[in-house]
Amino acid sequence: MPIDEILYPVNLRVEGCRCLVVGGGRVALAKADGLLEAGALVDVIAPEVIPELEARPGVTVHRRVYRSGDVRGYRLVVAATGCPDVHAEVFRDGESARVWVNSADDPENCSYTLPSRLRRGPLMVTFSTGGHSPALSRWLRRRFEAEIGPEYDTLLSLLSQARERMRAVGASTEDRAWQDVLDSGMLELIRSGETGQAKEMIDRLVGNP
């Protein structure tokens, strides 16, 4: 993958969609867990599968080697076998079938890459190096895990509720002082347990009806 290549960032909805993981080891388990977290239905193709992966609810295991064309009919595919030849075959099949393929630690055989991610409820922060250094992405995620705590999930909930109250009375949510809210010390109030005061401050600053 060229060092100056610009990737287009996107969040995909895969809830209820069939996705394929080729591989049955620890890396494949991590990839399957990410898909399951997003609500996908996961098939696994591998001659050997670790017990933890086989036992995952929502995972269907096919104990065999990958066969040409297996990618057809899936929304997304992840290859995590550790075998470059298999990854290349899966990628070629994906390109032919117009199915997006990610190959773990193999950026040349990817039509999409997976960022390292940090979740706090609906809030998701991602760190990506475009496939050039997954280790750096993971390191950045660990650095920010302590800074972005559960209070951000509470803040997001309060902001969302404020927007819904506006919409309920037909008021516009645009051109409001949302940045003033975020710069007002809101997080400190939430961290100290003053959620009610934080809610009142949001309504005052954005002029909520």
Q: Do 16 and 96 share a domain, yes or no?
A: yes
Among 69, 93, 114, identify where a domain stops.
114
DSSP letter string over 115-128? -EEEEETTEEEEE-
pLDDT of residue 4: 67
Q: Do 179 and 83 share a domain, yes or no?
A: no
pLDDT of residue 207: 81
Q: Mean pLDDT by 10-residue block, N- to C-terminus, for the chain (209 residues)?
A: 77 97 98 97 98 97 98 98 97 98 94 91 90 89 92 94 91 88 92 94 83
| Residue range(s) defining the domain that contains residue 90 | 1-114
Tell me which H or E stretch contains 187: helix 186-191
Q: Annotate 142-178 with b (16+ C-beta within 10 A) or e (fewer).
A: eeeeeeeeebbbbbebbbeebbebbeeeeeeeeebeb
Supply the CATH number for residue 48's domain.
3.40.50.720
Alpha-helix residue ranges (DSSP H) falling in 24-176: 26-37, 51-54, 84-97, 134-145, 151-168
d(CA 74, CA 14): 11
CA atoms within 13 A on the CB side of 191: 8
Exposed, middle or buried by CB within 10 Å (0-12, 13-18, 19+), for 41?
middle
Q: Is residue 41 part of a domain?
A: yes
Q: Say whether 45 sits in a helix, a strand or coil.
A: strand
Which residues are CB-neighbours of 69 under 8 A, at least 6 positions away? Answer: 93, 97
Domain count, the chain: 2
Model pTM?
0.82
Q: Do 94 and 197 share a domain, yes or no?
A: no
